Amino acid sequence: MPHPKILFISFEFRLPFSHSLKEKRKPLKSLKERLKNKFNASVAEIDAQDEWQRAVIGVTLLSTDHAYLERQYHLLEQFVQESTQMELTDIQQQWL
């Protein structure tokens, strides 16, 4: 039986237009839902929950196929860059 591979990706954003936590949550919630639906991924806000103009979300993908996860990573990165008004400031990936 092949061993599962887990890919964890963190995305850090700057939200210069946000002046409250409420203003921050709307675009963040939308992006999280779209990532869950499009990539069948686990998605959560993992840092900066109390900061108005900064957000960090974590995305986890699971598969037995390493090459598939690599392709998904590139598609996910492109999707995030094209589909949000938030400024992407950092991306990190980690294999678990």
pLDDT, tens digit, 9 for 90 and up, residues 37-86: 999 999 999 999 999 999 999 999 999 999 999 999 999 999 999 988 89
Model confidence at 91: pLDDT above 90: yes
E strands of 1-96, at which residues?
5-14, 42-47, 54-63, 87-95
Q: What is the pLDDT of residue 25?
A: 92
| pTM attached to this predicted model | 0.92
The CATH number assigned to the domain holding 31 equals 3.30.70.1120
Mention every residue, 6+ apart, whose C-beta is less than 8 A from residue 36.
42, 43
Domain that holds residue 19: 5-95
What average pLDDT does this structure show over 17-30?
93
Model confidence at 10: pLDDT above 90: yes
Instruction: Name the domain count of the chain.
Output: 1
